């Protein structure tokens, strides 16, 4: 038989496995919400424990928490932040009560470890209580949003670096492919000339723009709800607690945190979260578009565009020998689809807030952190194993350029739109290039044709 200990909460007495650090309220959460098997992201656990450490230090300074208890709680926090007790944070990401289950999971783990530090048994909540001491001056309603903001800000830093590297890879590739002239395509139809380098440079600009927008949205998370307690009024917090706790938390996390200008707003509104989620969605939409373009450009090898060749990273078919697929680009699209779907969840959660509290924060932070995590996990792989190694089929690209009937556009200022359109049709029907046809018809001399249809001139020379 597993040794047990008894704990009491406002609903009664339950037996808890003696070896665990979580307690009775966590047990009830495990029974009530066995939903996904997904637990809080480690960055969120660290953010929440940092909040608890800051509060313990602020409460000690205010005289609201005895020094010996505060020191024990702070030491317990430090141990968790050092990587210990990771398996004790067991509440499912889908839970009720605005995150009360997870807040109490954290409170109980810290309380029981602090009790051990003081030489007491787990469950001796008359000595150190999850509610009265670890949660002193706090509510789930202000700590959970605060930890959410900190976790997202912390996780976003790594993603930002991954995006910088991806954009840089496209910039390098744009220089490498700057001399590869080809036919542009609009509406998936042949259009005027462009270079592969110009297309790749545009991808880099798009990623840089999406990255900056994401960074701006993350900065909007710097105002935190801590100190607002249950409804943003600061009830049951010591004098000066909000200012002191937020300042300490900023030092602990290294983030530019500030107390929310209005505590009520910070509990009611998800605007900072939806702003961040929307920026992630917009980034994902750009990644879907770019990965789709790469798949088209690599389509073939004989019956598609075949303008670029992606690195072969694995066999493409269990049936067709030798087939190679754009696997990494396809994976990036699927990952990005998930990010777009996550944003829909965050949007629904934001509008579901009622009156003085939005209780849907747990699902919002879970989906945002999930989006950041899967993008940050995969983008370095995509950068290194796909973008960095792809190459152009310059002959194929040049062939499209030379035979593109849309080159008739260049003659429109000289012969007019309608005559240029006729030349387009004749070129297409006869399978004769526009430059050659223009010379044959006496519209241009051979020398004029070479000058007018020079690749550098047609693509802006850059």
Query: Could you say which of 317, 333, 406, 433 is catalytic?
Result: 317
Rounded distance between C-alpha atoms, residue 226 and residue 140, angstroms:
10
Predicted confidence at residue 224, as pLDDT, reads: 98
Predicted confidence at residue 448, as pLDDT, reads: 94
Rounded distance between C-alpha atoms, residue 159 and residue 339, angstroms:
13
Rounded distance between C-alpha atoms, residue 29 and residue 56, angstroms:
25
Predicted confidence at residue 1, as pLDDT, reads: 79
Rounded distance between C-alpha atoms, residue 302 and residue 92, angstroms:
50
Predicted confidence at residue 455, as pLDDT, reads: 87
Predicted confidence at residue 462, as pLDDT, reads: 55
pLDDT (tens, 9 = 90+) of the chain, 462 residues, equals 789 999 999 999 999 999 999 999 999 999 999 999 999 999 999 999 999 999 999 999 999 999 999 999 999 999 999 999 999 999 999 998 799 999 999 999 999 999 999 999 999 999 999 999 999 999 999 999 999 999 999 999 999 999 999 999 999 999 999 999 999 999 999 999 999 999 999 999 999 999 999 999 999 999 999 999 999 999 999 999 999 999 999 999 999 999 999 999 999 999 999 999 999 999 999 999 999 999 999 999 999 999 999 999 999 999 999 999 999 999 999 999 999 999 999 999 999 999 999 999 999 999 999 999 999 999 999 999 999 999 999 999 999 999 999 999 999 999 999 999 999 999 999 999 999 999 999 999 999 999 999 988 899 865
Rounded distance between C-alpha atoms, residue 143 and residue 49, angstroms:
10
Q: Which residues contact 135 (CB under 8 A, 6 or more apart)?
A: 103, 107
Does residue 269 have an active-site annotation?
Answer: no
Task: Centre a 10 Å sphere on the Cβ of residue 40 and count the other Cβ atoms it contains.
Answer: 26
Predicted confidence at residue 96, as pLDDT, reads: 82
């Amino acid at each position: 038989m597993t040794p047990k200990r008894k704990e009491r909460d406002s609903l009664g007495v339950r037996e808890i496995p003696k070896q665990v650090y979580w307690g009775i309220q966590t047990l009830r959460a495990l029974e009530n919400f066995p939903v996904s098997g997904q637990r809080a992201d480690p960055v969120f656990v660290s953010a929440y424990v940092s909040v608890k450490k800051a509060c313990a230090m602020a409460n000690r300074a205010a005289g609201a928490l005895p020094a010996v208890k505060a020191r024990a709680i702070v030491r317990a926090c430090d141990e968790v932040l050092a990587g210990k007790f990771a398996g004790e944070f067991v509440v499912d990401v889908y839970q009720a009560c605005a995150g009360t289950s997870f807040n109490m999971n954290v409170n109980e783990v810290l309380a029981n470890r602090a009790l051990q530090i003081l030489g007491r048994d787990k469950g001796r909540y008359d000595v150190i209580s999850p509610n009265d001491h670890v949660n002193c001056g706090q509510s789930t309603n202000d700590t959970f949003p605060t930890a959410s903001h900190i976790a997202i800000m912390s996780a976003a830093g790594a993603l930002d670096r991954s995006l910088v590297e991806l954009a840089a890879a496209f910039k390098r590739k744009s220089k490498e492919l700057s001399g590869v002239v080809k036919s542009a395509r609009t509406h998936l139809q042949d259009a005027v000339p462009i270079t592969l380098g110009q297309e790749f440079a545009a991808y880099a600009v798009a990623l840089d723009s999406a990255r900056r927008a994401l960074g701006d949205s993350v900065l909007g998370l710097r105002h935190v709800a801590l100190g607002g307690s249950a409804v943003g009024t600061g009830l049951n917090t010591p004098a000066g607690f909000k200012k002191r706790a937020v300042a300490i938390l900023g030092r602990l996390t290294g983030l530019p945190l500030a107390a929310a200008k209005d505590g009520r707003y910070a509990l009611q509104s998800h605007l900072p979260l939806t702003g961040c989620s929307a920026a992630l969605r917009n980034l994902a939409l750009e990644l879907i578009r770019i990965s789709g373009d790469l798949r088209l450009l690599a389509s073939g090898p004989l019956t598609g565009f075949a303008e670029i060749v992606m690195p072969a990273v694995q066999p493409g078919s269990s049936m067709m020998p030798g087939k190679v697929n754009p696997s990494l680009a396809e994976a990036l699209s699927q990952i990005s689809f998930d990010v777009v779907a996550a944003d829909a969840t965050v949007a629904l959660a934001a509008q579901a807030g009622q009156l003085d509290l939005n209780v849907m924060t747990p699902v919002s932070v879970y989906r945002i952190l999930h989006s950041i995590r899967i993008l940050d996990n995969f983008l370095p792989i995509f950068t290194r194993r796909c973008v960095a190694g792809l190459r152009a089929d310059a002959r194929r690209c040049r062939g499209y350029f030379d035979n593109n009937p849309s080159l008739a556009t260049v003659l429109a200022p000289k012969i007019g739109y309608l005559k240029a359109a006729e030349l387009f049709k004749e070129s297409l029907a006869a399978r004769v290039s526009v430059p050659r046809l223009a010379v044959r018809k006496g519209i241009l001399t051979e020398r004029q044709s070479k000058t007018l249809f020079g690749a550098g001139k047609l693509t802006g020379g850059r």
